[in-house]
A and B are shown apart, each in its own frame.
Chain A
């Protein structure tokens, strides 16, 4: 398909803003506030609603979402998001609930959250779940705090967190935020090198973080052995749930002996990603870690739900209130409508789509490591080098064909990596069209590919200039303009 995105030059809302000084004579509340607490200027636009709506609708036409087309962005699970979930999450009984209402007036919300916790326990093979974390990385932060509290309560001050070199970037960053030193271990044949792990794990190891299937889409089949090594050293095993879409109903993190798990509701459970958020990152744990979960916990006495803050060993709070409720409602709706069998079909179709696409693409590129993949696979774009091209060029050219680019240059252990996750919601026709586009691009004039994209709202964007100029707001833009104006005048002089 030849794709054409709208190409507009939409001025900033601030352009054309008038005088910013404030005359407090108009303010009927000015006498209620001391003069030196009142602001003296405010430069904001005053536009008719019609103009504002036009502005944002035109901008939206220069944006590509899952609803526009395939989004094979590895490790991001960009599946189609059922619309009913959005409708239900904006009902009054969701949107206009205040978090500090008396619990007797939020029984419906608490019932929903309690049931969602139970369903996530079943999917994750864990005993208790907190819904509080706001995102996957926030779930990791929560998990690492639980690791720390667990060891402290055992009187141990373990200092290190170990992870494979294929780990998502959030893993080391989350461990570091909780004060841990981070040790990477190299992979062997794309999976955890069990010998290297044994040598690295010590009584200073607090936890080992792993995602399974890993970021290459390979199932870590030695996972039980890994768990044994980690547990024998007294450390905990943490599951990064970013890749859960591959295994629902087939295995579970709990079954693999993980102690702590986070779930990305905006990936596996189909809540839309919103251009970067909001998401939700619930965390599940095995029984022995239950007491460390954040407060409050949802409890039930008779028919009534309550919030329990009296948990002396709890890590405390990772976020105000109870979690991203409107996102939780969407995930709840998705799970209830799929049911157990539907979720298993989701994983089957996701893995089939991934392997089908892989089988069509692996001969066009190079595919290091094993053949059978789960929900995603990683190709190496080094074949492009002989045309003087890089993976990024290929990715940008895919945009012209109406496909979002795969994740590129990750994981770091694959040269010129292209990480592809088609998800279960794409049809065979779409996958075939994607393959066709890949073939076409490989046979095209390399110059067209090198200068791609051509059909998008903008051609190749100068990211280096953005980092050099650092214009991060309208204020910044105005200051820069004034300065460069001065510069021109002085150079003429």
Chain B
């Protein structure tokens, strides 16, 4: 039976005597007595078979989206991932490699990352995409810091209609740099950025402004031209769901200086929120102020097309305390997954998937709206694949009732947006059939 626990190698004694050592303690004689511990108080190791059985049992208490019907979104979404994506990223030449510092022996990973950068640059319509950040929340944190490097100032503005998780992380990143984040209201009818409030908060000490399209309420921002004008010469950061961009005008064409997002929606499972993959891009004039790793095209000594990491002088291992970021480990393997996912779906597949998301959203919202006591979508604006629904009962109570029917309802958002009473954020993707929608509708009708 397979037993992976470590035991001393066959040649342990031979190697010890080769070194002239009688006991293993001699290898650790440089550790002073006063800091020595006598082993680890952890249970005995387990074989693969027994451990797997135990772990499956432990995790059987989880209710994944494959066993319960789920309408949760809010930044993380349940999408179909073609089997071939897993097959590609399971190649152990990719999975077990380190950061490709030795480029000659790492061309596979380097080209795959270059292709990720290429796919994402095309999708977002921005000049430069780095080879990944941890997730959208830390990408936003880094974007705040970069806005400060570009525009100076001490205050960063963020739309109130963004993910509260992302806002919380951005606040912490800002604090380190001595920056403050102020929020800009949304319009109560449309869920769009309140342009008057934005205008009144713009001033010389502002570094930049961040909004999302689609925003946290699933709303697609129609006021993008006015926003760009109002932000004037300050840094404009736009957050996006890359999947929506198969149909929607890219942020690069909406005047973004920096684009961020989460590419979890393109080939990465939800994983309880991590790992996912942070998209980070910018216009080429800001390139040297950018955080993160970049892969460039070049040649080898024989003149063959080759790839390597480049502009490393921005990074921590060279520039140390003057680096544009501390990031080292990123989400490289997931960038390969995203590239493979986009390639397998292709232009047509991505467009039809995004289209199904939009149609599903409209169908579901319409069906819910027709139930007495429910309003959906609450906001009068175009949406991508989620929307705010107002229910006749408090959100958490509604969700508890749905759980009785093995349904993960939407996200009760009143705790972050007290003005949105009894409101629930409902997401629907290509994973849902019309029968799935029917199940939710029937359940809601019973609760009303």
A96 pairs with B270, CB closer than 8 A: yes
B119 CB within 8 Å of chain A:
yes
Chain A positions 384 through 413: 1 when the CB is less than 8 Å from some CB of chain B, otherwise 0: 000000000001100100001100001000
Complex: how many Å from CA A323 to CA B330?
13
Interface size class of A (residues with CB under 8 A): 35 or more
B301 pairs with A459, CB closer than 8 A: yes
Chain A positions 320 through 331: 1 when the CB is less than 8 Å from some CB of chain B, otherwise 0: 111111110000
B36 CB within 8 Å of chain A:
yes
Contact residue among A90, A173, A317 (Cβ-Cβ distance under 8 Å from B321)? A173
CB distance from B329 to the nearest CB of A (A): 4
B392 CB within 8 Å of chain A:
no
A289 CB within 8 Å of chain B:
no
* A249 / chain B contacts, CB cutoff of 8 Å: 37, 39-40
Complex: how many Å from CA A281 to CA B64?
25
Closest residue to A246 on the B side, CB-wise? Answer: B28
Given contacts A9-B305, A96-B64, A277-B329, contact A395 B27 (CB under 8 A): no
* B331 / chain A contacts, CB cutoff of 8 Å: 274, 276-278
Contact residue among B51, B90, B94, B249 (Cβ-Cβ distance under 8 Å from A337)? B51
Complex: how many Å from CA A29 to CA B246?
12
Among residues 447 to 472 in chain A, which have CB atoms less than 8 Å away from a CB atom of chain B?
Answer: 451, 453, 456-463, 465-467, 469-472
Chain B positions 300 through 331: 1 when the CB is less than 8 Å from some CB of chain A, otherwise 0: 11101111101100011111111101111111
Complex: how many Å from CA A179 to CA B176?
5
B47 CB within 8 Å of chain A:
yes
Contact stretch, chosen from A31-39, A230-238, A436-444, A482-490 = A31-39
CB distance from A208 to the nearest CB of B (A): 15
* A336 / chain B contacts, CB cutoff of 8 Å: 43, 45-46, 51, 54-55
Complex: how many Å from CA A68 to CA B97?
9
Complex: how many Å from CA A68 to CA B111?
19
CB distance from B122 to the nearest CB of A (A): 6
* A428 / chain B contacts, CB cutoff of 8 Å: 9-11, 14-15
* B145 / chain A contacts, CB cutoff of 8 Å: 177
Among residues 57 to 106 in chain A, which have CB atoms less than 8 Å away from a CB atom of chain B?
Answer: 57, 59-68, 71, 73, 76, 78, 80-82, 84, 86-88, 90-102, 104-106
Given contacts A249-B39, A250-B28, contact A333 B111 (CB under 8 A): no
Among residues 255 to 279 in chain A, which have CB atoms less than 8 Å away from a CB atom of chain B?
Answer: 255-256, 266, 272-279
Complex: how many Å from CA A108 to CA B63?
9
CB distance from B179 to the nearest CB of A (A): 10
B298 pairs with A462, CB closer than 8 A: yes
B417 CB within 8 Å of chain A:
no
A251 pairs with B31, CB closer than 8 A: yes
Contact residue among B177, B294, B299 (Cβ-Cβ distance under 8 Å from A462)? B299
B104 pairs with A399, CB closer than 8 A: yes
* B171 / chain A contacts, CB cutoff of 8 Å: 316
A381 CB within 8 Å of chain B:
no
Complex: how many Å from CA A138 to CA B134?
9
CB distance from B331 to the nearest CB of A (A): 5
B447 CB within 8 Å of chain A:
no
A189 CB within 8 Å of chain B:
no
* A40 / chain B contacts, CB cutoff of 8 Å: 249
A219 pairs with B94, CB closer than 8 A: no
Given contacts A46-B347, A339-B5, contact A276 B332 (CB under 8 A): yes
* A100 / chain B contacts, CB cutoff of 8 Å: 72, 74, 76, 411
Complex: how many Å from CA A109 to CA B64?
11
Greatest chain A CB density within 10 A among B145, B287, B307, B330 is at B330
B132 CB within 8 Å of chain A:
yes
* B54 / chain A contacts, CB cutoff of 8 Å: 336
* B293 / chain A contacts, CB cutoff of 8 Å: 276
Complex: how many Å from CA A370 to CA B339?
47
A342 CB within 8 Å of chain B:
yes
Complex: how many Å from CA A471 to CA B295?
8
Chain A positions 9 through 20: 1 when the CB is less than 8 Å from some CB of chain B, otherwise 0: 110111000000
A376 CB within 8 Å of chain B:
no
A299 CB within 8 Å of chain B:
no
B296 pairs with A471, CB closer than 8 A: yes
Closest residue to A8 on the B side, CB-wise? Answer: B107
A343 CB within 8 Å of chain B:
yes
* A78 / chain B contacts, CB cutoff of 8 Å: 98
Closest residue to A323 on the B side, CB-wise? Answer: B274
Given contacts A321-B272, A470-B310, contact A341 B39 (CB under 8 A): yes
Among residues 289 to 318 in chain A, which have CB atoms less than 8 Å away from a CB atom of chain B?
Answer: 315-318
B19 pairs with A29, CB closer than 8 A: no
* A73 / chain B contacts, CB cutoff of 8 Å: 98
Question: Would you mind naming 28 contact pairs between A and B with Cβ atoms under 8 Å apart?
Answer: A13-B343, A32-B382, A81-B96, A91-B56, A92-B67, A96-B269, A98-B65, A99-B272, A112-B59, A134-B329, A135-B329, A137-B328, A140-B326, A173-B326, A176-B322, A218-B30, A248-B40, A250-B37, A273-B329, A277-B275, A319-B137, A320-B169, A324-B271, A324-B274, A341-B44, A349-B8, A372-B30, A428-B14
Identify 8 new A-B residue pairs, CB closer than 8 A, beyond the known A122-B40, A173-B321: A65-B94, A65-B95, A108-B59, A141-B176, A250-B28, A457-B104, A462-B300, A466-B297
